[in-house]
Amino acid sequence: MDHTELRKAIACMPKTELHLHIEGTLEAPLALQLASRNNVSLPWNTLEELEKQYDFSNLQSFLDLYYILMGTLKTQEDFADLMFAYLQRAHENGIRHAEIFFDPQVHMNNHIPFSTVIKGLLNGLDLGKQAFGITGGLILCIIRDMPVESAEAVLKEAEPYAKDLIGIGLDSAEVGYPPELFEAVYRKARQLGLHCVAHAGEEGPADYVKQALDVLHVERIDHGIHAYDDPELVQRLAQEQIPLTSCPLSNKRLKVVNDIRELPLHEMLQAGLRVCINSDDPAYFGGYLVDNYMALLENGYSLEECATFARNSIEACFISREEKDTLLADFDKWYEQYVK
Ligand code: HPA
Ligand code: ZN
């Protein structure tokens, strides 16, 4: 297959997205529009000036811009529109189901009520389900470099909406903010019936991945690249089939690695780890999910390996066995046509 045919094949491959920050889908032109509509003043007035800010040196340099642009989101409609726009893109990327992060503590700091944020996002999800048949839901992410009391407060706000949430996650600046800080928050989330995931091993060490498993009892690790530094942990992740939601373009843009070829994803697949591919913050990192798969294909990964990532993305969802089997049946048809 040539490049165009490969791209088409990847775009129609049935898959899910499990590591996607909805605020990370806020494209620069929309951020400027929202700033003007909502009377938010930004340090940059033109698209040209804003676009110069996307040359990141590490996770923090990205977060600095990400949090500023989040300040342009104000109304329930803004959140609904953002979600609907993502689901449209997701549909074009062959995504059948998405479990989507949001960062309510940042919006609450911007004086947006929790209810405005969640009602807007849920409304956008409903509209996307109707329009594109995509299923999915929300994972409330705790900002790990804000005080633990703030995490406790947002969980309290979320309690009445617990049935509308899939789970709880942990994101933002990793180093210096180990998972164990959030033991009580995660205990409370489990009592509310939420699934548990956490970003770990993006910039932080393998030990943070272990803490996420042992102290927070997470069912999935977001990123987890540095888990590969610890052979014993690799063995455990394989044995327990803990999914890792890897984000290649993100890792490259935030300089977790210098080059896609430095990511240990061949080795992780070989070791039997349940790795899947995701776009993280596609408006910031130069591409949506198909672009992430294409970056892998251009850097030594085979279509067979890409198929394994997609199959893993279906197995790693928080949906019923029956729903997984329905998606897998479609995946198998695709595999039969494009790989076998
Ligand atoms: N890592 C940590 N925090 C984040 C990310 C990420 O990739 N995206 C949005 N918040
Ligand atoms: Zn992330």
pLDDT tens string 260-302? 999 999 999 999 999 999 999 999 999 999 999 999 999 999 9
Which residues are the active-site residues? 202
Strand partners, 140: 102, 168
Is the dihedral angle over the CA atoms 123, 125, 131, 133 positive or is it negative?
A: negative
Specify the residue with its C-alpha closest to ligand 1, atom 10. 172
Calculate mean pLDDT across residues 313-336.
98
Calculate mean pLDDT across residues 12-39.
98
Q: Are 97 and 139 in contact (CB under 8 A)?
A: no
**The residue type at 324:** K
Q: Are 126 and 80 in contact (CB under 8 A)?
A: no
Calculate how far, in angstroms, residue 336's C-alpha sits from the geometric centre of ligand 1: 36
pTM score, whole prediction: 0.98
Pocket test for ligand 1, best of 67, 143, 146, 171 (most atoms within 8 A of CB): 171
With tokens 């389900």, the residue in question is 129
What's the CA gap between 286 and 288, in Å, rounded?
7
What is the pLDDT at residue 162? Answer: 98
Calculate how far, in angstroms, residue 280's C-alpha sits from the geometric centre of ligand 2: 5
Q: Are 246 and 223 in contact (CB under 8 A)?
A: yes
pLDDT digits (tens, 9 = 90+) for 50-84: 999 999 999 999 999 999 999 999 999 999 999 99
Contacts of 323 (CB under 8 A, 6+ apart): 97, 135, 317
Calculate mean pLDDT across residues 221-234.
98
pLDDT digits (tens, 9 = 90+) for 106-131: 999 999 999 999 999 999 999 999 99
What is the pLDDT at residue 224? Answer: 98
- Kindly list the protein residues that place their beta carbon closer than 5 angstroms to ligand 2, a single-atom ion: 280
Calculate mean pLDDT across residues 160-181.
98
Q: What are phi and psi of 147, to 5 degrees?
A: -60, 150
What's the CA gap between 208 and 218, in Å, rounded?
12
Which tokens in the block code for residue 221?
A: 């690790």
H-run or E-run covering 206: helix 206-214
By CB neighbour count within 10 A (0-12 exposed, 13-18 middle, 19+ buried), where does 164 fall?
middle
What is the pLDDT at residue 168? Answer: 99
Which tokens in the block code for residue 46?
A: 């033109």
By three-state DSSP, how is residue 171 classified? strand
The string over 181-193, giving b where at least 16 C-beta atoms fall within 10 Å of a residue's C-beta and e elsewhere, is: bbeebbebbeeee
* Atom number in ligand 1 closest to CA 101: 9
Calculate how far, in angstroms, residue 71's C-alpha sits from the geometric centre of ligand 2: 19
Strand partners, 136: 98
Tell me which residues have their CB closer than 6 angstroms to ligand 1: 21, 24, 59, 171-172, 199, 202, 250, 280-281
Strand residues in the chain grouped as ranges (E): 15-17, 95-102, 135-143, 165-171, 195-200, 220-223, 243-246, 274-277
Longest CA span, the chain: 55
What is the pLDDT at residue 27? Answer: 98
Number of helical (H) and strand (E) elements in the chain, helices listed first: 17, 8
Going by C-alpha positions, the residue among 246, 243, 240, 242 that lies closest to residue 226 is 246
* Atom number in ligand 1 closest to CA 202: 1
